[in-house]
Amino acid sequence: MSLTTVCVARRPRSTVAWLVVVMALAVGCGGDGDQGSNVDPDQVDALTAPELGVCRDLVPEDVSHPSNASKTVNCADKHTAETYAVGPLPTEFKDAEYEDEKLGAFAYKTCATAFQKFLGGDESLVMRTILSWAWFRPSEKAWESGARWYRCDVVGGSEQSEEFVKLPKSAKGLLFGPPPDKWLVCANGKTVAGSEKVPCTQKHTWRAVSTIKLGNPDDSYPGDEAVESRTRDFCSQQVGAWLSYPVDYDFGYTWFHEAEWKAGNRRSICWARTTA
């Protein structure tokens, strides 16, 4: 378990006051546990890779598990997840342990890159939508039998969502052009961390308006202090510009720690306090 830090600040003419809130972010879950809601017995402990392009009606709890065997549904019917990438794991994982930390880095690089291409948005945009991705591997039993595959699903929310939103028949190309507010992420509450993340078409008090890139893929983690400082300064400027430079304003920022950096994330998120 690692930490994602969300800070909220007010930027008046000459002073800045801070309120720091911490929330937990799961970057990897161990053990088989449940293999999902509405399980298909034929998919449990499957040795072969799942089918590409199928849909499922997943719930947030499902994405907290390393494997998933939920039944597929017709993509024309209600669904909250769509499989957009599948394939064999690299041969380097042939003799790997089920909990090998390098699996997370591989999944981030593979699923995140395919996620952007599938949706039609760049890295900054996809981080500011209500959409996210979840990845699954074989069950531990199947792993012990030699199964080595991955599955990437786009889902209408995150593990912290109370429920996932319904997806269109296919999410492919969903972010081409200016995306509608129904897919952009906002938060409704006094602080970003303590607020439910909702589509921006719903009542909200915060909107994710920008991101900052903090390094290149091969860069070492610069440390918490450097990441927070750079994020804070950038977000102060970006949110001020987005709000057309008012005298004072509230802004928030979400920055990620070393575990997420090692997994491949190089960005922080800027939030503006707004009701529109």
d(CA 173, CA 221): 33
Structure confidence by residue, pLDDT tens digits, 189-229: 888 887 888 899 999 999 999 999 999 989 999 999 999 99
In which residue are the tokens 């005298």 written? 247
Interval 103-114 mean pLDDT: 92
Instruction: List the domain boundaries for the chain.
Output: 2-273
Structure confidence at residue 7 (pLDDT): 58
> Contact, 6 vs 259, CB < 8 A?
no
- Give the Cα-Cα-Cα angle 269, 271, 276 (nearest 5 degrees): 140
Q: Which residues pair with 8 in a beta bridge?
A: 19, 252
Is residue 13 over pLDDT 50?
Answer: no
Is residue 22 over pLDDT 80?
Answer: no
Interval 9-18 mean pLDDT: 35
- φ, ψ (nearest 5 deg) of residue 3: -115, 140
pTM of the predicted model as reported, rounded to 2 decimal places: 0.82
The H-or-E segment that residue 6 falls in is strand 2-11
Burial class (CB in 10 A: 0-12, 13-18, 19+), 162: exposed
Is residue 271 over pLDDT 80?
Answer: yes
